[in-house]
Amino acid sequence: MTISRINVGNIANDGTGDDLRQAFVKVNNNFDELDLKVVPQNTAHNLGAGEGVFYTKENHVLNFRSLVAGDNIVIGGDATSITITNPGNLTLTTDGETLSLSGASRQFGVNGGQSINTSLAGNSINVALDPTNLVSLDTNPALGGALDAGSNNINNVNSLYATTVNATSVVGALTGTVNGVDVTEIGRIVDGIDYGLLSDNITTGLEILLNNTTVDYGTVTVPGALNSNYGAV
């Protein structure tokens, strides 16, 4: 609404101006218009839980704190906005490589390799060893000390090369010595024929059986049905 001007006529009491009532209506309207244009007692408040920028008010002047760039921070802006950026690089170093991240894409992931699992727990990254098939994945495993099977079986062994084997039982083909005895000699006694010594020294049940078993090949003129092949000399 604009200011309403009172028509006072050309000369006093010439009847061309506003009457008294109309004149005061315009006066009231003009005061209402002026009241709307009076500057209120403005103030400012900092919102939220962050660091506030409003400082004080002096008369009709509101004072705000300035934004100052810290380390690796750049503050810029235009007529309508303020921009706060970090132009620096984030550098990550591993055992053999270095990764440099900059700009808005400064994100990286932590992935587990073979037998390694990763997970998040709050703000922490957990890296754990996955024991599943850990030994079978190693194509050239080596022990740094004695292997304790904890009274468990060791199955499906193709060949076992060892200086000493401590076991409750061994199932399968066995070569070498057992308690200092050549196992091939045991096979010779079991599979072949032992005629004993001139002076018997019997110490085992097997030797008793062999010592009391007679093998009859017959005579030179009447040979028996039993044949033995001991190979060539």
Query: How much is the average pLDDT of 111-140?
Result: 87
pLDDT digits 0-9 by tens, 68-98: 998 878 899 898 898 988 877 778 887 788 8
* Residues sharing a CB contact under 8 Å with residue 156, sequence separation 6 or more, in sequence order: none
pLDDT digits 0-9 by tens, 17-58: 888 899 899 899 888 888 777 666 677 888 888 888 989 988
Provide the Cα torsion 178, 181, 184, 190; round to 10°: -100
What is the β-pairing status of strands 181-182 and 177-178?
antiparallel
Establish if 149 belongs to a structural domain: no
* pTM reported for the whole predicted model: 0.35
pLDDT score recorded for residue 128: 92
pLDDT digits 0-9 by tens, 191-221: 655 555 656 677 777 777 777 777 777 887 8
The overall average pLDDT reported for the chain is 81
Cα 203 from Cα 30, distance rounded (Å): 139
What percent of the chain clears pLDDT 70, i.e. is strictly above it? 88
Establish if 126 belongs to a structural domain: no
CA proximity to 39, closest of 62, 60, 54, 64: 60
Total domains present in the chain: 1
Establish if 189 belongs to a structural domain: yes
Establish if 178 belongs to a structural domain: yes
* Structure letter (DSSP) for residue 208: H
Indicate the pLDDT class of residue 66, thresholds 50, 70 and 90. very high
Give 144 or 210, the one with higher predicted confidence: 144
pLDDT score recorded for residue 39: 64
Establish if 31 belongs to a structural domain: no
DSSP bridge pairs for 98: 93
* Structure letter (DSSP) for residue 38: S
Establish if 205 belongs to a structural domain: yes
Establish if 112 belongs to a structural domain: no
Residue 131 above 80 pLDDT? yes
pLDDT score recorded for residue 63: 92
Burial class of residue 199 (count of CB atoms within 10 Å of its CB; 0-12, 13-18, 19+): exposed
- The three state secondary structure string of 148-179 is CCCCCCCCCCCCCCCCCCCCCCCCCCCCCEEC
Angle at 193 between CA 190 and CA 194, to 5 degrees: 90
Q: Which two tokens stand for residue 14?
A: 């010439």
Domain of 222, in residue numbers: 173-227
Establish if 199 belongs to a structural domain: yes
What percent of the chain clears pLDDT 90, i.e. is strictly above it? 6
Main-chain dihedrals φ then ψ at residue 181, nearest 5 degrees: -105, 130
